Copies of this chain bind each other. A is one copy, B any other.
Amino acid sequence: MPTIEQARGWYSSADSVHDFDHILRVYQTAQHLGKIEGADMEILHAAVLLHDAIGSAPGEQARKAHHLASAEFAATILRLEGWDDERIAAVQHCIRTHRYRGTGEVPETIEAKILFDADKLDVLGAVGVARVIAYAALNRQPFYAEPSRQFLEQGILEPGEPHSAYHEYLFKLRKIKDRLFTTSARQLAEERDTYLREFFERFAREMRGEA
């Protein structure tokens, strides 16, 4: 079983959006959800500690496929720990399916559903606000740009329209709550989702000079 101290080393070059504090928060949330939902805690813990291990440094090209690279890395680590193939495959399934934007494969086991939910809960609330703002800053995207009608209706940018932190909120964050799999995560999401929405509504008013 990989330890938290061992895992810390895998995230030493991560940016503040995907750093080890994120892993520790997801770990704590997954622990809570896992107990309620009756998950295999060993598989869940390994999946949490390894889920962002590859591709989380700033500007890494691998970011888009980080779930696949991290799943490969997980197999290497767990094989060294003497895990059998079936349990390694179970961890890999969790890691491959934790991304929000579909890859074809969806979480099927309770452990995969919990990793997905615990990871997504960390983009809600005040921490979610900080992470989406920091992500935009690190990628030189503006905080706010007026979304086009096309973006509001179809989620597709018009030519010349920048993808701002506010766009990310509209396109992804405000829909997260309805994408969660477990009842216990949905309960946790309720209040954090409300806080996030109120933040971005206020933020848009301030940025438009209406406040």
Contact = CB atoms under 8 A, between A and B. Distances in A.
A83 interface: no
Stoichiometry, as copies per complex, reads: 2
Interface string A184-211: 0000000010010001001100110101
Given A134-B134, A137-B137, A127 B19 contact: no
A21 B143 contact: yes
A21 B144 contact: yes
Chain A interface category by residue count: 20 to 34
Interface of A: 15-17, 19, 21, 24-25, 28, 125-127, 129-130, 133-134, 136-138, 140-144, 165, 192, 195, 199, 202-203, 206-207, 209, 211
Given A137-B138, A192-B211, A195-B202, 9 more contacts: A16-B142, A17-B137, A21-B144, A125-B211, A130-B165, A130-B203, A133-B133, A134-B136, A134-B137
